[in-house]
Structure 1
Amino acid sequence: MTAAPCEIWFYHLERSSAEQVLPELLEKTLGRGWKALVRGGDPARINALDAHLWTFRDDSFLPHGLAEEPLAERQPVLLSTALDNPNGGDALFLLDGAEPGDLSGFARCILLFDGRDEEALRLARGRWKAFKGAGHPVSYWQQAERGWEKKA
């Protein structure tokens, strides 16, 4: 029996930044009993995100760590620039055009992209076509005034 292909969800950010949207998505992921791997292409951005996740809301705690820290494999949310999956994440979050790598261990891959950035849009469109062509189920979510709307 083969595993189901990884679902790919595209999140088109138009009103908020990834830093504003990501904590809520990570909380939902943990609420499902899943682990998350957040992959970015820039180590400085990953370090800034690490600091942000500790302080994004006064009444919340989002357990997470950096891939280069000890016991990375035990983190429910792991931040990384590498292509591996050391914490056995169920959900992969891609920021800033980070490469997806091998998706076989993930149930879902969430691409967050800035709709105000032409290069990010171009990359997202190319990835949509590639993932769909590879047989992955794909969904497209666009940010609207009252939350997220599934467009495709």
Structure 2
Amino acid sequence: MQVDFYHLTATPIDRALPQIAEKVLANGGRLLIVAESATQRQAIDRLLWSYSPESFLPHAEAGAETDANQPILLSGTTIATNEARNVALVDGVWRDEALAFDRAFHFFDADRISEARAAWKALADRNGVTRNYWKQNEAGRWEKAA
């Protein structure tokens, strides 16, 4: 199980998330995007349709009969009704249920840094968990820092 911590400094979630989602889909995976706030999920829904003029990321909000067919599912919980093995926690809140996935992407900004540090430390002693910390350099590119 791999947990990637993404500290959003120069790049907001609306630029970082589509990049991750594209990579997951390109590798044949499925993704569950979790945000407790319905308002944030609605914003992400619009983002995934319009982030690039050349393409879109196929997705839906959880709770429909077609959930199992969706490569990307937006939800307020970590229940992957699309059978995703990858989860993106986009509201800055760590959820231990993410450890049931093969890979978790934990996005957080300065407002949630203390919670992210606590999650990082709590995962240090978990067997089978690999942690990665990603930060941005001066050019805005992601670098693995830990």
Shared fold per TM-score greater than 0.5: yes
**Partner residue of 2:123 out of 95, 112, 131:** 131
Query: Which runs of 5 or more residues in structure 2 are unaligned?
Result: none
- State the TM-score, normalizing by the size of structure 2: 0.92
- State the TM-score, normalizing by the size of structure 1: 0.88
Deviation at residue 102 of structure 1 after TM alignment? 2.5
CA distance in 2, matches of 1:73, 1:82: 15
Deviation at residue 99 of structure 1 after TM alignment? 4.4
CA distance in 2, matches of 1:8, 1:53: 23
What residue identity is the alignment partner of 2:56? Answer: F
Map of 1:19 onto structure 2: 14
Map of 2:145 onto structure 1: 151
Map of 2:84 onto structure 1: 89
**Partner residue of 1:111 out of 106, 113, 128:** 106
Aligned counterparts, 1:23-102, within 5 A? 23-102=18-97
Query: What value does the CA root-mean-square deviation take over the aligned residues?
Result: 1.4
Query: Which runs of 5 or more residues in structure 1 are unaligned?
Result: 1-5
Deviation at residue 98 of structure 1 after TM alignment? 3.4
Report % sequence identity. Answer: 33
SS in structure 2 of the partner of residue 29 of structure 1: helix
Deviation at residue 69 of structure 1 after TM alignment? 2.8
CA distance in 1, matches of 2:76, 2:22: 21
Deviation at residue 146 of structure 1 after TM alignment? 4.6
Misfit runs of 4+, over 2 Å: 97-105
Contact 2:94 2:119 in 1 (8 A): no
